[in-house]
Structure 1
Amino acid sequence: MTNQLKRRGGIGSEYKSFYKKVRGNEGDKCKYSVRLDTYGCGCQHDCDYCYARSLLSFRGFWNPSAPSIADIDKIKRKIRKIPPGTILRMGGMTDCFQPFEAEHHVTYETICEMNRCGVGYLIVTKSHLIAQPEYLEILDKDLAHIQITVTTLDDNKALTYEKASIPSKRVEAIKKLQSAGYDVSIRLSPLIEDFMDFDSLNSLGINRCVVEFLRVNSWIKSWLHDVDFSGYRLKQGGYCHLPLEKRWKSSRRSGYRR
């Protein structure tokens, strides 16, 4: 595949800080603390609940209409220095399968390089693109771990607060990958009870689930509507969270107790 990976200056320019080791308090809590973003400084999905959007907006670095693009040559050089068996998380601050990927294919080439080097990858995405034939041809079942995020099963509801693939397409992608034998999970991130139809969720026949809850700050409060924030009383790390007992109750409603 051909790539046009660089634009000169400003919006859409080469993205340099594509690789990050998460340290400190956040790193201690994260199982996959080494992250690789093929796009940066904005995400076309522009989700209203996104903590990365709030962090980068605060610093004036968020541009969802034209995110920056990582230099694939630099990515390849970095991957070649990583010990085989390491698992990189793809999609820490932006989605590695946002619409730009269909044009630039940086994620495609990154996956190919990790396959060659025996480096594992955890892909976290809100896109159905990952289950398209060109990606199914390269995803290595021994190296690929996939989590596809769904916040509601209502396609119309989703469009009011995120610009990702509609949920029905994401669920279809999960089932396709699951049937093909991949390590794939539905990721309820964030799980907001009022947005989720739990009966429909439990009837999908998806084997694995990951749950993450909403982190609330003033930016997210101003963007995300139809959410009662009064229950987010636990303050930690600059965010407000639901109390543990409430999160446990919501997790059990998802039906995934393994």
Structure 2
Amino acid sequence: MFFIKEVFASEFKSFYKNVQGNEGDKCKYSTRLDTYGCGCQHNCDYCYARSLLSFRGFWDAANPRVADIRKVKRKINHLQPGNVIRLGGMTDCFQPCELKHRVTYETILEMNRCRVGYLIVTKSALIAEPEYMDILDKELSHIQITVTCLDNAKAMLYEKCSPPSQRIEAILRLQEAGFDVSIRLSPIIESFMDFEKLNGIGIEKCIIEFLRINPWIKQWLKGVDFSEYTVSQGGYRHLPLSEKIRIVDKIRIPEKTVCEDVTEHYLYWREHVNPNKEDCCNLRIYQGSGV
């Protein structure tokens, strides 16, 4: 038992990982670099990473593990220019402790220097503050800001992130400045989202990802009719494809793409919805940038 726990510890405490299996097979950007790990101060009730790490006793939302920037820089220096690495795979690289430790800030500077692309996934408005916008390289950076609900008070019941209104402002600020930025509706839960308001904001790109539930998420997340989640794959339960299609049709953002876990559903989105069949993140890659 001690050996098994140590194997899991090595797996989930590593700041750099190539994701394998069902998720890695579908994701074009399956290499992740977590500047903070084994806990996230946002502590979202729907978070699959929280459920995985809580189950194994590795989740500490109050005191996330801080990556050693010296090791991070050494790893980046061994990457080939032109790669795109995901920042924020198991935890948020812009969670509040970034203001103290600045590991993400230093990581971005090093990736710029080495000409390695980065896909930032965050629920924080911090990324659109001037000190970060000043260092984001438009030829290397791709930004996805997650929003699950447009009601500030309701969102705070299940996620301890920047208020949705601030995240929306951050998306529009980055979009106006010419960055490759999308709103990430992840997870999209129909009863949580005001679709009319969402469609009227003026956001140009979105990524849609549906809720997947396991016993931990089912225990934490309130206000969801879990009886609708009748499809089973990969240890999670999912909505049927017909329900997903109905919900996606309610989203009128001009450029939309779906990130999917269920293999049959993934094939449907790839063939019928996603603008880029080889890249469900639909990143805007600059020609001549080396990325």
Deviations 1:126-181 (A, max 9, x none): 00000001001100000000000000000000010000000000000000000000
CA–CA distance in structure 2, aligned partners of residues 218 and 205 of structure 1: 37
AA partner of residue 24 (structure 2): G
Comparing 20-29 and 195-204, the one that deviates more = 20-29
Which ranges of structure 1 fall in alignment gaps of 5 or more residues? 1-14
CA–CA distance in structure 1, aligned partners of residues 102 and 245 of structure 2: 39
CA–CA distance in structure 1, aligned partners of residues 141 and 46 of structure 2: 27
Which ranges of structure 2 fall in alignment gaps of 5 or more residues? 1-11, 256-291
TM-score by length of 2: 0.83
The question of 1:106 aligning with 2:93 is answered: no
Check whether the contact 1:37–1:91 (CA below 8 A) recurs between aligned residues: yes
The question of 1:168 aligning with 2:183 is answered: no
Question: 1:191 corresponds to which residue?
Answer: 188
Check whether the contact 1:188–1:209 (CA below 8 A) recurs between aligned residues: yes
The question of 1:49 aligning with 2:39 is answered: no
Check whether the contact 1:16–1:70 (CA below 8 A) recurs between aligned residues: no
The 5-angstrom pairing of residues 86-165 of structure 1 reads 86-165=83-162
CA–CA distance in structure 1, aligned partners of residues 164 and 92 of structure 2: 15
The 5-angstrom pairing of residues 1-258 of structure 1 reads 17-256=14-253, 258=255
AA partner of residue 191 (structure 1): I
Which SS does the other structure have where 2:187 is aligned? Answer: coil
Equivalent pairs: percent with the same residue?
Answer: 67
Deviations 1:182-232 (A, max 9, x none): 000000000000000000000000000000000100000100001001110
AA partner of residue 220 (structure 1): I
State the 4+ residue runs in structure 1 displaced beyond 3 angstroms: none
Question: 2:261 corresponds to which residue?
Answer: none
When the two structures are aligned, how many residues end up with a matched partner?
244
